[in-house]
Each structure stands twice: as C-alpha cells, then as structure tokens.
Amino acid sequence: MAYIRKHKLSNGKLSKKYYFTVSYKDDDGKSRKVERVGSESLSETKRMARMAQAKLDQSAVIASTMKYSDFLKLWDNEVLNTNNMKENTIKQYHSIIVNHIVPGIGNRKMNKLTPRIVQSFINAKKADGCAKSTVNSILSVIKKSLEYAVVYCGYLSSNPAADVHLPRYISAPKKITPFTPDEMAKIFSHFTDAKIYPAILLSYHTGLRLGECCALAWSDVDMDNHTISVSKTVVGTSVQPLPKSKSSCRTVTFGIKLYHILEDIRLDQMKNRMKFGKFYSNSGLVCTVASGQMLLPNDFRYFNMWCKEQFGHGSFHVLRHTFATNLLEAGASLEMVSKTLGHASLNLTASTYSHVLDNRRNQLASIMDEAL
C-alpha cells in the first residue's frame, strides 16, 4: 500500500502537492522504496500511486520471467530498427547478439543478470580468443540494451553491466610482412586488367589506405607539383571526411613513375567516357570501374583472398606497409615516412616498422666497423 503525504516546506507551510511512496523488490530481492510527486488532489494522487505500484509489480514479474534473449528482440524492434543508426552498425549489433550474447547469457532471466555474471561472461569471451575490439563491442551492446531495460522499460532498478569492465589485453607487437619484389611482380601481372589495378598502383606508390584510394578525386591531384591532397575516405558506400587526428589529412608527394601512371588512368577514363556515352558516371574519382562509378572496399576482397592463397599472407593494406618499408630501406627519415602515412605520432611509425629500423642500425654498425 502506498504512503501519501505532503512535504513541509522551509517556511513551515505544507506543500500544495501530495507525494506518494511505493515499494518494490530490487534485483537482489531486497525491499526498496521510491518517492514520487503526485498532484494537489488527494484522490488523483492515490490513483497515480496505484498505477505506479501496478507498473512496478508488473515490471518485477516481467523481469523474473522474461529471458534476456527475448528482451533483446524487444530492444531490437523498439531501438535498433527505429533509431537513425547506420546499416552497417545495425548488422554488427545483430551479429554480436546472435553469435555471442544469446548463446552465452541469452537464457538468463532479466532479474538474474548480475554484475558478476556479466563480468564472467565478458572475461570468458576473451579467454575464448575473441579480439579486444569484439569483446568491447559485445560489452557495449549489453550495456546499452540493459540501460534501456532500466530507463525506458522499468524492468530493472539498475544496470548490472554499468560497472563491468573490459579485460586487460596485452598487445603483442604486430609483425609486418611487406610484399617482396617477386610478390609485387606477380600482383602486377595478375591484376593488370582488373578494375582495382589503379588503386593497387596508387597505394604502392603513395601508401594511401584503401578507403583513401577509393575516395581520391582528380581535384585532389596536383599534376604540376606532383602532390596529392588526402582528406577523404570511403566508409561502406559513401565518401566521408577523414576523422579525428590532424595528421590524417595530409599532402603526399609522388614521383615521375606515378605521374605517368596517373596520366594513363586519365586516358583510360577518357576512352571509357566515349565508350559508355551517356551511361558513363562522371564521378570525378581517380579509381573507378569502367563505367566511371566509384570503387568500393568490398571490391578488394578477392585481392586479399588471392594474396593469402598465393603468398600465405597479405592484403591490400600490406601495399601501404610495402611502400613505407621501401622508403625506410632507401634511407628516408622516420619523420617523413610518418607524415606521409598520416600516422598520429612518430612513436606509432617507429613501433610499426621497428624491424626496418633495426636492420638500418645493423647496417650502420657494419659500415662503422669497415670504416674504422
């Protein structure tokens, strides 16, 4: 039964509005009370109190009978399918729910989800070999969904995942294996007539990332000064400005080899424009399919598969590593390579290409031994 009263104000008078207190049992089974504002009418306040108590009782019943997997369906329907989320984000959430959360803790009743259970589940995902980014995404979905259960549904009094933390990951240094000259020769030979060939050449000669190659427009290329302005990338199917760090947006200098390559690409596009006529898409981009439309990151999946089949390693991103390795081995300064790649710090470049720097130091030691 609800407790109803008026508050005594600082001036000694009673408040105009009534206040009511309702009780409920929290997720641990302990009795709790919460006070809420009613109205100036006693009968109306009693009605509000009855409704509030009924809602709390109903929520308690739902929380004790509803499985977390069923609630996730409700959350999906009410939030994921109505929010202005990107399609790729929704797909990622669905994948996490189906492949990780439901098999792990989906059968748990809502009121039986405790911080300890959630933390143990997250720790187990790391122990199973899930990457840090994957575990972080799993925890994020759990936190967001249970927060909805607290704030919007009233099924839980508090979020059991609120204080759950990501397990500690010790990052092992990445071993970079650039393409060898023989491997590059095979790549050039195999992909000469492929639609992605211009992007392969562009990344090999500039170190541009895949999305940066796809987004590069002719207006970003200064043929007279041999420079490329990098300020955009392709995410999914759309061109977006480069995010966050100032270093990402940069100017890259290119040599005479790429100059002639770019001339050939432009000539091929002119031929295709005449061939396709009104069906040609004037995207203004450097790397396109024959009809002028933008290349997408998904168009490079075969390249990655082919490299792994042929060489046992490699992806489009390795072209960028090959470019950087070639520069460093040719004697380019670490600072210049770091700026060209658009790294956020010199330390990132140094740690990524430590093997090349070690080789240079060994070579220097040999030269010193011979000179002295």
Q: Could you give the CA distance from residue 310 to residue 104 in angstroms, rounded to a whole number?
A: 38
Q: What is the pLDDT of residues 29-62, one digit of tens each?
A: 666 676 777 888 888 888 887 777 666 666 555 5
* CB atoms near residue 256 (< 10 Å): 8
Report the candidate in 165, 171, 157, 103 with the shortest Cα–Cα distance to residue 135.
165
* CB atoms near residue 145 (< 10 Å): 22
For residues 69 and 59, the answer to whether their CB atoms sit within 8 Å is no
Name the percent of the chain lying above pLDDT 70. Answer: 86
Looking at the predicted structure, is the pLDDT value of residue 23 above 90?
no
Q: Could you give the CA distance from residue 66 to residue 96 in angstroms, rounded to a whole number?
A: 20
What pLDDT, on the 0 to 100 scale, is given for residue 209?
Answer: 95
| Among 162-166, 241-245, 298-302, 361-365, the least confident range | 361-365
Radius of gyration over every alpha carbon of the chain, rounded to an integer in angstroms? 30
Q: Could you give the CA distance from residue 21 to residue 39 in angstroms, rounded to a whole number?
A: 13
Q: Could you give the CA distance from residue 315 to residue 329 in angstroms, rounded to a whole number?
A: 21
What pLDDT, on the 0 to 100 scale, is given for residue 111?
Answer: 83
What pLDDT, on the 0 to 100 scale, is given for residue 345?
Answer: 85
What pLDDT, on the 0 to 100 scale, is given for residue 369?
Answer: 53
For residues 283 and 274, the answer to whether their CB atoms sit within 8 Å is no
Q: How many CA atoms lie less than 13 Å away from 126 in the CB half-sphere? A: 15
Q: What is the pLDDT of residues 204-219, one digit of tens each?
A: 999 999 999 999 999 9
What pLDDT, on the 0 to 100 scale, is given for residue 83?
Answer: 62
Q: What is the pLDDT of residues 259-292, one digit of tens each?
A: 999 999 999 999 999 999 999 999 999 999 999 9
Mean of pLDDT over the chain = 86
